[in-house]
Amino acid sequence: MTDPTIRAIEQLEKRRYDAMLQADLAVLGDMLSDNLAYTHSNAARDAKESYLEKVGAKFFDYHAISNEDQEIKVFGDVALVTGVMKAEVTVNGTAKSLNNRYLAVWLREAGEWRFVAYAPTPVS
């Protein structure tokens, strides 16, 4: 039987990826911590406001995302998610295929889980 917190984080990760695919700024805005540090596989970094602006403007236009080998570890109010994320995305008009190992961090803020950090590493 899976821990209820791990199940909740699994569902949040799925919801986050779905929102990225749909460019659903309302859902993303609600999920993201105001302290977001979103690092991209090219080492660029976004805060919450800049990430949402780029998704809304289709600077990041996600077409397909898959998540493999996901593992979730919870330490009190912090959840660490690791795995492999593969995606087809258009970045600033250029089509890209991503294949990244990643660390995603969720933080419980005022009783709610918020996405606070993302750090990918490209797989060669």
This prediction has a pTM of 0.93
Percent of the chain whose predicted confidence (pLDDT) is above 70:
99
Confidence label for 1 from pLDDT (cuts 50, 70 and 90) = low
Rounded to whole angstroms, how far apart are CA atoms 122 and 48? Answer: 22
With a cut of 70, say whether residue 104 has pLDDT above it.
Answer: yes
Give which of 5, 22, 39, 36 is closest to 112, Cα–Cα: 5
What would the pLDDT profile of 28-84 be if each residue is shown by its tens digit? 999 999 999 999 999 999 999 999 999 999 999 999 999 999 999 999 999 999 999
- List domains and CATH numbers for the chain: 4-118 (3.10.450.50)
Give which of 7, 56, 4 is closest to 27, Cα–Cα: 56
For the residues 100-117, what does the mean pLDDT come to?
97
For the residues 1-11, what does the mean pLDDT come to?
90
Is 99 in contact with 106 (CB distance < 8 Å)? no
For the residues 102-112, what does the mean pLDDT come to?
97
Rounded to whole angstroms, how far apart are CA atoms 27 and 19? Answer: 6
Q: State residue 52's pLDDT score.
A: 97
